[in-house]
Structure 1
């Protein structure tokens, strides 16, 4: 019964969290449904978890990361992707246009999008990003370097400048 009481309060926050990260209504709706189904399963366990909006957003974060991993696996199965040459570390001190940044993020490969979203939108430290992506910290740091480079190139291309 506690989950039903929380549903009305949490639904807009969970859906808003997912929509702001993935940018696709249908995907956000599907992941929101998966989040609440996972919550129902979790409540049946003993002892049940503490039901809060923050806990549900955490479940949603895991569902989104799972989606990106599945998408990345599917893309790897369709084509071989070569790694981009390593870039110098860049301190991301330029101000970005938020709408353009979301469009560029949506264009990136799922593994790049997942790493950047978890690290910079969710503000997770690299070790937690690594845990969510089932990678080592070192592999995650390398992935973030490549993802920042891919983002930087796509953003510059969208702005009409060369990098």
Structure 2
């Protein structure tokens, strides 16, 4: 590939020759047409960059680039999933299946600090730092209070369910 027009022609020929292999490789592995198309586009952009640097990419090279693009995508996806799990922990199914009337009764029987912490956090849906500010406590002390209050609530709630 000595001159720019020749490189363009060679790149177009490579594209025509390699597109079915690159797209097929990605489509078979990622399970999504849209993702396979995006990664195929990124792969051929890498080929354009390689040609501009004076290299002659091959179909095998493009398949390697496609594999690396897919691996990078999976890594990004895994990082995003991990950060979502840290930010929004999975909901405990026990918490979802509460009887509202009994839950209010149990909440009223808790000590004032526990009742206040749980009400501010879960009924008023305030973030922990705001609950801490309202209670005049540190964030860590408030988190510990909420953990203890939840344990007390759960114990009292489950105790009441054995009476049913």
TM score, norm. by length of structure 1:
0.46
TM score, norm. by length of structure 2:
0.46
The structure whose residues are more often helix, as a share, is: 2
Specify which structure has the bigger relative contact order, considering alpha-carbon pairs within 8 angstroms and separated by 6 or more residues: 1
Q: Which has the larger radius of gyration?
A: 2
